[in-house]
Chains A and B, each alone.
Chain A
Amino acid sequence: MNEVKKSLFAGVAVAIAAGMVFVGSAARDRIDLGQRYADNSPLAGQTLLATRDNSQEVPEGDYFYEMSELLKREYVEPITDPQKLATGAVRGMVGSLGDPDSIYMDKDEFAIFQNQRNGLYEGIGADLDLDLAGGPKTKPGEKKSVHGVQPTGEDPQEAASYFPRVPKVTVVAIAPGGPADKAGVKVGDVAYSIDDHWVMNGPELQKFRLAQLAFGAKKLSLPELNVLRKDMRAKLERALMPLKAKNRLETGKSGGMTVIWLRNGQKVSTQLSRGTAQMSIASPKGYVLKFDSKAATGLKQAIAGKTEVTIDLRNNSQGDYSAMRECLAVVAPTGNYGVLQSDRKDKPEPLLVSKGNAHPPTITLVVDRSTRKVAEIFALALSSHFRAKIVGGPTGDDRVVQEVVPLPDGSGYTLNVGTYKTSATPTTVAVKGGSRIE
């Protein structure tokens, strides 16, 4: 064996050895993390390994395992379903975010949510949102205790002490011909009570708290406070947490309910019968675009050979972010259309169209308050870059991007991964688009 051969051999041996180290490490990843979830992350480029350098006292997997074993040994009843423990842990983590755009849903709720994404509604036939407007939403860098009381939790008494973060259950889209539509419910209505169950309401809790403080400062008499106290106690005894109220309105195909809504500060009572309804537009003013897996193909056909296209984006409050990106590539040239901002990244993730349509038709978008989430992002991305004219409006002002994560037992959750910001200046939008989108 000459020297060249020897060094070659040594090189190969080292490469094989290194290869085995890598294979071993990969095998461990596979075992620890299971099969990688399908990468539908809008913030693509993240890998699971990103968390490997977190030094923790007890690795989370071992912690979970030890805790499950402790329960199996000690809990008063036998643990029959260990998967339930995992789902419970996920629910706990999602709940700890205290974010109305990151919500855990049990099996039934998640099935209803998936149907809604396909346009099929039950309950009152409307899309409801947990709206924290006016409250402290997700301020960048805000340090929140994950152990604090969650506004979407189960205990009304505890939530009462947490009023600023109680979201409003707000109607954001109504299925034409559905129960809510028939009963005269309007977009923007806020659920105040359902069958005499008061829906937890931040401003009212705050008012009561202020009255208590006024009494403490001797600015309010005891009889006056007692009137409020009696009223608040009666309300709290039959209070519905916002998330529960939302579920109650969105669930069920039969039976009636009385719902009182807040509309422009006035209480409006409605009689509703549950049923099924299709989310659509009563009289569409153009091509109806739904951001699902077939959206891009359909849009391509719709614009084929045309120089002018009108797209109706009303009643469009649920959609898939990656489907929207594909649609953007169909009607917009290659370029940068804004950013997804989150406070966890040094650099926001750009909304890029890498293989766009160099010669798109002139596009008009029809929007209103029921144009939300990815539909709103689509409208804003196009209009702020002079790629579309906006008709109607203003839009729903909700540009949060959510991931939808299914879990093995049929439940699932949404995860807020960022908020869309246009790279153009708001003034330009207003002038060009002629609507108050920003």
Chain B
Amino acid sequence: MNKALKAITVGAGLAACFAFGYGWRDIQHGQAPSARSISALLGVSSSSTSLSPEQVFKQNYNRILTTYTRQLSPTDLKYAGMEGLLASLGDPHTIFMPPKAAEEFHDETMANFFGVGARLGPDQLGAKVAVVFEDGPAYTAGLRAGNIITAVDGKSVVGKDIDTIVRTIKGKEGTYVHLTVIQTGKDKPAAITVRRGRIITPTVTGKYLEDTKVGFLSIESFSEPTAAQFDKELAKLEQHDMRGLVIDLRENPGGLLETAKDLLSRFVENKVVVTMRFRDGQEETERTYGGSLHNFKYPIVILMNEDSASAAEIFAGALKDYGKVTLVGNHSYGKASVQNVFTLVDQASAKITIARYYLPSGRFIGRKVDEDGVFLTGGLEPDVKVDLSFDVEPTYGDPKSDSQLRKALDVITGGAPR
């Protein structure tokens, strides 16, 4: 009896030591051993002949980290592995985003970041202010389009890269940035102090084209505030006598499906926007809302090109299927899938294709490319195909230099001489 008890005690003691050794790695990381590693222990003899995908990954991760000629950041290498993992599916829209990229992506979709509320372009003397957002902090402080920023917080930015300048100007909400600015008509540079705040980036800009009496609305992306901005800009245009509307979706990479649905509800009520087909064959249909219908009393043309994608294609494709618009320009990109963004514990995120979508007419517009990545088929076909001419440096929205817009205006005015 006494002997048996002793044997059990010794056996238990040894087992405890083994378990401690087994879990040592986790203890070093300050965590309890995961259930997965314990179950792996029990199956160790059967799995030792062929390597699991996880083991293949870990082996090579360790090899690259320890033997590559340059010192690598373990975290960056891990993230590069995750990028490759998602890329192995061959779907260009399923991607991994490390924390920093994930944050930028989030800012872009939400279209709000902290800053002064201005868009800058390169200039020999520093940075030229291209646009100042109405009601933004920079506007309030007196910054205007055309001003040239030559110094930030007393430090000259002459010859600096525009991205670097933007980064120094951006910052936390409530902090101040001091800009030295050259304004036309003043001989001395002005000092402007701006209190950084939350910025809502305009995604819709409107312009009334006097000559043709046509409204021009450019939608940059489908973000959170886009629908409200669309309404506001449209209302401004409709104060004029309007013979037609051109909605410019060129270079619009898409964005939120919800926003596309919201916008489409201005055109059609309780109609199918898209049908999504998920992995298990399950279907889900998105429909426009009732009660937001707007009375468009004029013809509408949509301008698009190969960089119009995703939500922009849903918007244009649905309107086309319901006979509300004429499509002008080049074929669109052909992104016929829906992604969901999964945020991970370390603030990185994975954007994963969860469904394919079909337009109201049942059309699938997925892009097909050859082995060199050259476009074959896919996307929406324009009703009137026209290339952008580079004979004069084109500026979107300017009928004098924008040949695609000129064609759109011809479609609205019936080709009548202007």
Binding site for B on A (CB under 8 A): 16-28, 30-35, 37, 41, 43, 46, 48, 50-68, 70-71, 74-78, 82-97, 99, 102, 138, 142, 145-147, 154-156, 197, 216-217, 222, 226, 229-230, 237-240, 244, 342-344, 403, 405, 407-408, 415-419
Q: Is the CB of A147 within 8 A of B89?
A: no
Asked whether, in the complex, the Cβ of A58 is within 8 Å of the Cβ of B346, the reply is yes
Given A34-B59, A71-B352, A197-B372, A92:B82 Cβ within 8 A:
yes
Known contacts A21-B21, A25-B21, A75-B94: A55-B67 contact under CB 8 Å: no
Residues from chain A with a CB closer than 8 A to the CB of B72 are: 97, 146
Residue from the set B69, B84, B85 with the largest chain A CB neighbour count within 10 Å: B69
Docked Cα-Cα span, A348 to B73, in Å, equals: 20
From A30, A77, A92, B279 is in contact (CB under 8 Å) with: A77
Besides A28-B22, A74-B342, A93-B64, 4 more A-B contacts (Cβ < 8 Å) are A50-B66, A63-B82, A76-B279, A84-B88
Known A-B contacts A60-B61, A65-B36, A407-B60; A217 and B124 likewise in contact (beta carbons under 8 Å): yes
Shortest Cβ distance from B44 into A: residue: A31
List residues of chain B with CB within 8 A of the CB of A52: 25, 28
Selected from A20, A63, A99, A237, the residue in CB contact (under 8 A) with B78 is: A63
On whether the beta carbons of B55 and A33 are closer than 8 Å, the reply is yes
Q: Which of B21, B23, B84, B85 contacts A23 (CB 8 A)?
A: B21
Q: Mark B79-105, 1 if CB is under 8 A from A, else 0.
A: 111111111110100101010010000
B1 at the interface (CB under 8 A from A): no
Tell me which residues across on chain B come within 8 A of A138, comparing CB atoms: 69-70
A88-B88, A93-B61 given as contacts; is B28 within 8 A of A74 (CB)? no
A35 partner, pick from B51, B67, B87, B88, beta carbons under 8 A? B51
Query: Which residues on the B side are within 8 Å of A86 (C-beta)?
Result: 53-54, 56-57, 85
Residues of A within 8 A of B52 (CB): 34
Closest B residue to A54 using CB positions: B74
User: Which of B50, B53, B89 counts the most chain A CB atoms within 10 A?
Assistant: B53
19 cross-chain CB contacts under 8 A: A20-B21, A21-B24, A24-B21, A27-B41, A32-B55, A33-B62, A48-B59, A71-B352, A75-B89, A75-B279, A85-B53, A85-B85, A89-B57, A146-B73, A147-B76, A154-B373, A244-B372, A407-B56, A415-B64
**Could you say which residues of chain B place their CB within 8 Å of the CB of A222?**
392-393
Spot the interface stretch: B12-20, B151-159, B193-201, B218-226. B12-20
Cα A52 to Cα B34 in complex, Å, equals 17
Docked pose: A85 CA to B390 CA in angstroms? 44
Give the docked Cα–Cα distance between A23 and B59 (Å). Answer: 20
B58→A60 contact, CB < 8 A: yes
**Complex CA distance for A237 and B340, rounded to whole angstroms:** 31
**Which of B63, B69, B74, B84 is the one whose CB lies under 8 Å from A92?**
B84
* B326 contacts A by Cβ under 8 Å: no
Complex Cα–Cα for A23 and B94 (A): 42
Tell me if B58 and A32 are in contact (CB < 8 A): yes
Residues of A near B89 (CB, < 8 A) are 71, 75, 77, 88
What is the distance, in angstroms, from B51's C-beta to the closest C-beta of chain A? 5
**What residues make up the interface of B, taking CB atoms closer than 8 Å to A?**
13-15, 17-25, 28-29, 34, 36-37, 40-41, 44, 47-48, 50-89, 91, 94, 96, 98, 101, 122, 124, 278-279, 337, 340, 342, 344-346, 350, 352-356, 372-374, 390-393
Q: Which residue of A lies closest to B49 (CB)?
A: A35
Instruction: Please name all residues of chain B whose beta carbon is closer than 8 Å to the beta carbon of A419 when the two chains form the complex.
Output: 69
Q: For the complex, give the distance between the alpha carbons of A93 and B80 in Å.
A: 5
**Interchain CB contact under 8 A, A87 and B69:** no
The reply to whether B68 and A97 contact each other, CB–CB distance below 8 Å, is yes
A22 to B17, CA, bound (A): 9
Evaluate whether A76 and B355 lie within 8 angstroms (CB atoms) in the complex, with A60-B57, A83-B56, A90-B60 already known. yes
Residues B56 and A408 in contact, CB atoms below 8 Å apart: yes
Closest residue of chain B to A20, judged by CB?
A: B17
Known: A35-B48, A75-B352. A16 touches B14 (CB 8 A): yes
Asked whether, in the complex, the Cβ of B60 is within 8 Å of the Cβ of A93, the reply is yes
Q: A20-B17, A33-B58, A58-B346 are in contact. Are A46 and B85 (CB under 8 A)?
A: no
Q: Is B84 touching A91 in the complex (CB atoms < 8 A)?
A: yes
B345 & A21 in contact (Cβ 8 Å cutoff): no
Q: Once the chains are docked, how many angstroms separate the CA of A26 from the CA of B78?
A: 24
Q: What are the residues of chain A within 8 A of B78 when measuring CB–CB?
A: 56, 60, 63
Majority DSSP secondary structure for residues of A touching B:
helix
Contact residue among B56, B67, B391 (Cβ-Cβ distance under 8 Å from A87): B56
In the assembly, what is the distance between CA of A41 and CA of B65, in Å? 13
**Binding site secondary structure of chain B:** helix
Given A16-B14, A21-B18, A92-B84, the answer on whether A415 and B25 have CB atoms closer than 8 Å is: no
Contacts of B51 in A (CB 8 A): 34-35, 408
Docked complex Cα distance between A298 and B233 (Å)? 82
Given A74-B352, A93-B64: A64 and B88 interface contact (C-beta under 8 Å): no
Q: Which residues does chain B contribute within 8 Å of A238, judged by CB atoms? A: 372, 374
**Residues of B close to A31: CB separation below 8 A:** 37, 40-41, 44, 47
CB contacts (< 8 Å) of B353 on chain A: these are 75-76
A32 to B22, CA, bound (A): 11
Q: Does the CB pair A92–B81 fall under 8 Å?
A: yes
B74 x A76 contact (CB < 8 A): no
Closest residue of chain A to B56 (Cβ to Cβ) is A86
Closest to B51 in A: A34
Q: List chain A residues, Cβ under 8 A from B21.
A: 20-28
CA–CA, A154 and B81, complex, Å: 17
What are the residues of chain A within 8 A of B79 when measuring CB–CB?
146-147
Q: Which of A50, A147, A407 has the most chain B CB atoms closer than 10 A to its own CB?
A: A147
Which residues of chain A come closer than 8 Å to B354, judged between CB atoms? 74-76
Which chain B positions have C-beta within 8 A of A93?
Answer: 60-61, 64, 77, 80-81, 84
* In contact, A96 and B70 (Cβ under 8 angstroms): no
Specify which chain A residues have a CB less than 8 angstroms from the CB of B24 in the assembled complex: 21, 24-25, 28
Given contacts A50-B66, A62-B34, A76-B356, contact A147 B80 (CB under 8 A): yes
Residues of B within 8 A of A25 (CB): 21-22, 24-25
B55 to chain A, nearest CB (A): 4
Residues of A contacting B66 in the complex (Cβ-Cβ under 8 angstroms): 46, 48, 50-51
Q: Is the CB of A64 within 8 A of B85?
A: yes
Given the complex, which residues of B lie within 8 Å of A216, measured CB to CB?
122
- Find chain B residues with CB under 8 A from A71 CB: 85-86, 89, 352
| B84 contact from A28, A41, A90, Cβ within 8 A | A90
A35 to B48, CA, bound (A): 7
User: Chain B residues with Cβ under 8 A from A244's Cβ?
Assistant: 372
Instruction: Please give the distance in Å from B366's CB to the nearest CB on chain A.
Output: 11
Q: Is the CB of A416 within 8 A of B58?
A: no
Residues of A within 8 A of B69 (CB): 99, 138, 342-344, 416-419
Closest CB of chain A to B340's CB: distance in Å?
A: 7
> Are A58 and B345 neighbours in the complex by a CB distance under 8 Å?
yes
* Complex: A82 Cα to B36 Cα, angstroms: 17
Closest residue on chain B to residue A55 by CB atoms: B29
Residues of B within 8 A of A405 (CB): 60, 63
> In whole angstroms, what is the CA distance A229 to B394 when docked?
14
A217-B124 Cα distance, complex, nearest whole Å: 8
Complex A-B, nearest 8 residue pairs according to Cβ-Cβ distance, in ascending order: A92-B84, A88-B88, A24-B21, A96-B80, A34-B55, A21-B21, A86-B53, A20-B17
- Residues in A with CB closer than 8 Å to B77 are 93, 96, 146
Residues of B within 8 A of A416 (CB): 68-69
Q: Are A89 and B85 in contact (CB under 8 A)?
A: yes
Residues B350 and A85 in contact, CB atoms below 8 Å apart: no
Q: Are A147 and B101 in contact, CB atoms less than 8 angstroms apart?
A: yes
| Residues of the B chain whose Cβ atoms lie less than 8 Å from the Cβ of A146 | 72-73, 76-77, 79-80
